[in-house]
Structure 1
Amino acid sequence: MLLLLLLTNAFVLLPWAGAGRIIGGQEAKPHSRPYMAFLEITSGIQFYTCGGFLIRPDAVLSAAHCVDKEGSVKVTVTLGAHNIRREEPSQQTIPVEECVIHPEYSRESLENDIVLLKLAKNATINKNVQCISIANKNEGVREGTKCDLSGWGLTSREEDETDVLREVKLKVQNETICQQLSPKYERQSMICVGDENRKKSAYKGDSGGPLVCNEKAYGIVSHGYACRLFPEVFTRISYFELWIREQLKRFSLQDIPGSPSSD
């Protein structure tokens, strides 16, 4: 069942029980995006899916709203997948040991919509499963830059579905477009993205997936605006780079017996 979070002038690209595809895109070449992660999230009797991406063998980045559920949440990550309805030999399914939501995340405004997932064991890096670099704090992405988005989200407003990874090119937009639609748009921590022709878009189920520009992850699919396919808001990774590095360092310390973080 799709859980809709109703916000003023906004909708969240929330996960869907059963994956679909990106709107206006095309099927990705199998395993051409080896950093992609498929998230299965269980909260009580409810089931959701989201996207994510591998940034270290033990860590996946995604959107905080994907795991921000009432009660206990169980998350499982599948790496190396193309068709998520099949048991492909390339797939690695790993449970999540810890979900670290940014401490200033807001479910109302969707500010700081980022979560780091610590995997219960390291992924095996091979041709089908690889990490992707993230933008550092000094790196920006210019208006007009065309970037790649991939995911298993729904393919249309009619909620058509498919099982394979889809991809689409979207353009970084002038931020005033998003600011005009919502006073909650934050230039420092968000990126305004989309297709002016309203034919291509991320959609429900694509949340948490990466915006990849020049082979580096610059954004995370966060949310859009009610009844619109354009524009969409992505979490700006460069703004959170130091926080991400701090958490990754803590993850490493936890793996060392007797370290301060493992006591």
Structure 2
Amino acid sequence: MLLLLLLTNAFVLLPWAGAGRIIGGREAKPHSRPYMAFLKIKNATKTSRCGGFLIRPDAVLSAAHCVDKKGRIVSFTVTLGAHNVSSQEPSQQKIPVGKWVIHPQYSRKGCINDIVLLKLKKKAKINEYVRYISFAKENEHVRVGTLCRVSGWGRTSLNPPASDVLREVELKVQKEKICQKFSSDYQPQSMICVGDENRKKSTYKGDSGGPLVCNEKAHGIVSRGYDDPLFPKAFTRISYFEPWIHEQLKRFSLQDIPGSLSSD
């Protein structure tokens, strides 16, 4: 199913690469994941895509490396209620992003603290096609061996193109030592080690920013891979960032969104 961004070396995911398709997964039942968001990001030279997920009518969570790009972003749109992003489905709501906040300790090297909160210029209309998802609270952990689900519009193989329809895959939470073996940058407190030991299922380019859903709650964010393109993957651990997320949501509630794009 979803594939993480391509890596430039054994440990670091290209911060400017687009999120990928699900490898070894299946097409999701249309509109069965109403919290999914499709991000389209344009700068002066290229357009990239990522995943994300709605956590309240005016806020979307995603991966920081999706917006950590060279060149000024000139257009940033979130599409909600989509199954096939190449068509104009009546269920779709396309909403510009007015503001985004990258975690202040985010590091491109190793994709540490790889989380961004997007403030939409207008609230989404909540209906059968568009709904938000709850996310893990502080100190709420998911157990090793838990089977979780990831959805996205990323690549379905190691080669282009990305998928037009939403796909999903089931991946298992792994022991921390598996990811630690691949990278000294792996941080157990802020990351979750996830993957398929058989290397037949994975996230890849284009899937970045999408949620790792365990027991109907978002516990992780598709973030990075290692030298093996399929296994394992390090996802951003949402529970670690829950206080920061709520702090930013409070600030969003007090702020008016200006007409131009901005970021903190």
TM-score normalised by length of structure 2: 0.91
Please report how far the alpha carbon of residue 159 of structure 1 lies from its aligned counterpart in structure 2 after TM superposition.
Answer: 2.6
Structure 1 equivalent of residue 100 of structure 2: 99
Does the 8 Å contact 1:15/1:206 carry over to 2? no
CA change 1:4–1:44 in 2 (3 A) is farther
Structure 1 equivalent of residue 13 of structure 2: 11
**Alpha-carbon displacement from aligned partner over 1:35-69 (angstroms, at most 9, x marks no partner):** 00000011212110000000010000000000001
Structure 1 equivalent of residue 261 of structure 2: none
- Partner-residue secondary structure (3-state), 1:180: helix
Structure 2 equivalent of residue 83 of structure 1: 84
Does the 8 Å contact 2:62/2:209 carry over to 1? yes
Please report how far the alpha carbon of residue 8 of structure 1 lies from its aligned counterpart in structure 2 after TM superposition.
Answer: 4.6
Does the 8 Å contact 1:27/1:164 carry over to 2? yes
The answer to which structure, 1 or 2, has the higher relative contact order (CA under 8 A, 6+ apart) is: 2
- Partner-residue secondary structure (3-state), 2:158: coil
Does the 8 Å contact 2:13/2:111 carry over to 1? no
Structure 1 equivalent of residue 185 of structure 2: 184
Aligned partner of 1:137: which letter? E
Q: How many residues in Structure 1 have an aligned counterpart in Structure 2?
A: 252
Please report how far the alpha carbon of residue 161 of structure 1 lies from its aligned counterpart in structure 2 after TM superposition.
Answer: 3.8
Structure 2 equivalent of residue 24 of structure 1: 24
TM-score normalised by length of structure 1: 0.92
Determine the C-alpha separation between the residues in 1 that align with 2:162 and 2:67.
Answer: 22
Does the 8 Å contact 1:34/1:131 carry over to 2? yes
Please report how far the alpha carbon of residue 75 of structure 1 lies from its aligned counterpart in structure 2 after TM superposition.
Answer: 1.3
Structure 2 equivalent of residue 168 of structure 1: 169
Determine the C-alpha separation between the residues in 2 that align with 1:27 and 1:250.
Answer: 37
Which consecutive segments of 4 or more residues in structure 1 shift more than 2 A? Answer: 3-16, 158-162
**Equivalent residues in 2 for 1:1-263 (5 A)?**
6-12=8-14, 15-16=17-18, 21-73=21-73, 74-255=75-256
**Alpha-carbon displacement from aligned partner over 1:6-49 (angstroms, at most 9, x marks no partner):** 24533348644xx8631000000000000000000112121100
Aligned partner of 1:241: which letter? E
Please report how far the alpha carbon of residue 160 of structure 1 lies from its aligned counterpart in structure 2 after TM superposition.
Answer: 4.6
Does the 8 Å contact 1:51/1:151 carry over to 2? yes
Q: Identity of paired residues, percent?
A: 68
* Consecutive unaligned residues in structure 2, runs of 5 or more: 258-264
